[in-house]
């Protein structure tokens, strides 16, 4: 099993730039990575979190949740505590049966990742162009 370590993820620029998200915490089974922006208040750091809920029986289901959040703080004013202006967030949840095979779980992850990387998904999210 891979150790809890930093993640290097490309951003969404036309020419992607690799960003390092620092491994920061495991609190109550929730693992967190933060991209620490220089000069920004910590409330403005983009984060990735994951948490897994395992089934308690052999015919149950496991659930794996992934959350990516990009917060945007209001403009910093001297002497005033920063406030969150807004945020963008993505949540992905995988539900897998205890009876499923590694190949089935691999297909699920690949199909979902490839859908998210597709031109159509980018049109939906980036250009606000939903299916009609």
Note if the pTM is more than 0.95. Answer: no
pLDDT of 71-88, one tens digit each? 998 887 788 888 899 999
Please give the full DSSP string across 30-96, using - where no structure is assigned. Answer: EEEEE---TTS-GGG--EEEEEEE--SSTTSEEEEEEEEEEEEEPPP-TTS---EEEEEEEEEEEEE
The pair of three-digit structure tokens given for residue 39, joined into one six-digit string: 């000069």
pLDDT of 101-129, one tens digit each? 999 999 999 999 999 999 999 999 999 99
pLDDT of 28-66, one tens digit each? 889 999 999 887 788 899 999 999 999 888 788 999 999
Give the architecture (CATH level 2) of 7-100: 2-Layer Sandwich (3.30)
The pair of three-digit structure tokens given for residue 94, joined into one six-digit string: 């995988």
The C-alpha angle with vertex 91 and arms to 98 and 28, in degrees rounded to 5, equals 65
């Amino acid at each position: 099993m891979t150790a809890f370590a930093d993640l290097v993820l490309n951003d969404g620029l036309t020419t992607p730039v690799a960003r390092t998200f620092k491994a920061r915490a495991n609190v109550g089974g929730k693992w967190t990575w933060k991209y620490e922006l220089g000069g920004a208040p910590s409330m403005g750091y983009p984060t990735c979190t994951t948490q897994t809920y395992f089934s308690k029986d052999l015919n149950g289901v496991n659930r794996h949740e992934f959350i990516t959040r990009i917060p945007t703080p209001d403009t910093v004013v001297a002497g005033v505590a920063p406030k969150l202006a807004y945020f963008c967030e993505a949540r992905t949840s995988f539900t897998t049966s205890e009876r499923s095979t590694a190949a089935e779980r691999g297909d699920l992850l690949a199909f979902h990742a490839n859908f998210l990387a597709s031109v159509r998904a980018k049109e939906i999210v980036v250009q606000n162009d939903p299916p009609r």
